[in-house]
Structure formats: structure tokens, C-alpha cells
Amino acid sequence: MPNSESFDLEFRPRYWWGHYGLETHYRSRIKGELRRQSAPGDFKNGFGSAELLEPSLSEKVRHQLGAIHPWLMGGEYLPDFLPTEIEIARVVLKSVTMDVISVRARRTKTRIRYRIVDEYPEYEADYPLEPATSRLPLTMAKVVKLIETGDLLNARQFNLQDDARSPEDYYNFCTVSSDVYPELAKWFDEGNEEWLAVQYDLILQDFGEEDFGDLVTRIQRARPLAIARRVLSDARRAAPRSG
């Protein structure tokens, strides 16, 4: 777990509706991940068509973008927003089509209601919600809990178990972003780095002298470099010495 003292986990937005600039408003409602990432520059510079700043694209345009690169489909097949609904966070997977899981909040007369949706409604995934409702916007700590309770990051471990590639290929397979919680992405980025360190610690517990050279090569390829250097140093200290 990241160092909680480095984060303002009690940060709570005053209000989610109508208290942000136009740029944030448009960006937070764009479903496509790569369109969303380019929106600030497009908005400021007047680049691109108005359609590309819309929350959803037509089926024709979605097919055209997907033909250019499958990652351009990422997020484009999320369900439409319900009335008064906004996205407060999203999980992006580095899958073939850059799948996106969206954490949403909807204002009702007395409560704020939450739901988690993905791009595969036909599978009817039932994500646990804790909390499912609240009176006020959530603190950052509760958004972290909502994401972790919903088990939205399990795709990384699933892919690692079913693939011959190394942990460094998957440590940032799942990333989190938010337009209303400025520290949320960093929290989960640090969690990804800790996950990678744990995977290397497990490798170190199970290597022999003949494997050491290969292990060094793998760790030297790792990112982020700070973790690679630390684990490599541990590996060298643990390596069998001749004589």
C-alpha cells in the first residue's frame, strides 16, 4: 500500500456538478480514453471536429477509428451516462482494445448513487459497491476503497498467471485516472510499483545459481528503474558466492 502520509486521503470535492471549468466538464464526459487524453489540447487550440469532443461517437466513426488502431476503441463502448451522472474515476487496461472500467456517480433527490460499468454489458458484470450511496461526495480514501472493493485491478494478475512474460510487462497493465481527484492516479501508480517489487521478491525466493544471470537481465529491463535497482541489489547480495 502506498504511504498514506504522502496523500490527502480525506480530500473531498465540494461538489461534483457544475464546479469545474469547461475543459474539465467536456473531458470528464468523453468516453474514449485516447480522445479524452487529447481533449485538453484540442479544446485549447480548437483542433479536431466538434464530434470528437462529444461523450459518444457514432458507430461509423467508432469503426473508422478502430481500423486505424484498436486502442482508439478504448472506452468508446462504455454505456451512455444516465441523467445527472458523471464519471469520478476510471480504470484503463492495456489490453488489445484498451478496455475501460468507469466509476460513476449520479445525483438523486436525497443521495448520490454509484455504479461501476465496463464495455461488455452482455456479460452483466456485477461489481461490488462499497459504498453504494452517500450523502456527500466521497473522500479520496473512499474512492480508493470503492475501486479496491470492486476488484477492478485483477486483470493484471490474471494476465500474469496466464502468460509467460515477466512482471515488468504487466505491473502497469491497469492504471487509474480521475478528473476530480488529483492524487488518485499517483496513489495507484505507486501501488503498481509496489506490486512489481513484490513479484521480484517472490522471484528472488525461488532462484538458483544457474538462474542468476537470467534474473539480472530481466531485472535490468524492468521499469521503474528505482525498483529495478533495489531488487537487483538484493539479488546480488543473495547470489551464491564461489569459494
Average pLDDT over residues 33-43: 75
Instruction: Please state which of the ranges 16-30, 35-49, 139-153, 172-186 shows the lowest mean pLDDT.
Output: 35-49
Are 84 and 106 within 8 A, CB to CB?
yes
> Which set of grid coordinates corresponds to residue 236?
546480488
Q: What is the pLDDT of residue 239?
A: 47
pLDDT value, residue 21: 65
How many whole angstroms separate alpha carbon 188 and alpha carbon 176?
6
Is 206 among the domain residues?
Answer: yes
Q: Identify whether 214 is part of a domain.
A: yes
Q: Angle between the 212-220 and 184-204 helix axes, to the nearest 10 degrees? A: 170
DSSP bridge partners of 98:
none
Give the structural domain span for 185.
164-170+181-243
Q: Is residue 117 part of a domain?
A: no
Q: What are the residues facing 175 on neighbouring strands?
A: 92
- Decide which of 97 and 25 is more confident: 97
Number of domains composing the chain? 1
Residue 82 lies in a domain: no
Write down the pLDDT at residue 33.
93
Interaxial angle between packed helices 22-29 and 33-45, expressed in degrees from 0 to 180 and rounded to the nearest 10:
150
Q: CA 122, CA 118: separation in Å to the nearest integer?
A: 10
In order of 86, 112, 166, 193, 211, the CA distances from 160 in angstroms are 32, 36, 7, 15, 20
Residue 209 lies in a domain: yes
Place of cell 521499469: 223
3-state secondary structure of 107: strand
Q: How confident is the model at residue 162 (pLDDT cuts 50, 70, 90)?
A: low
- Write out pLDDT tens, residues 83-119: 999 999 999 998 899 999 999 999 999 999 999 999 9
Does residue 234 fall inside a structural domain?
Answer: yes
Residues 106, 130: contact at Cβ < 8 Å? no
Kindly state whether residue 135 falls inside one of the protein's structural domains: no
pTM, to two decimals = 0.78
The model's pLDDT over 131-161, given as tens digits with 9 standing for 90+, comes to 999 999 999 999 999 998 877 777 776 666 6
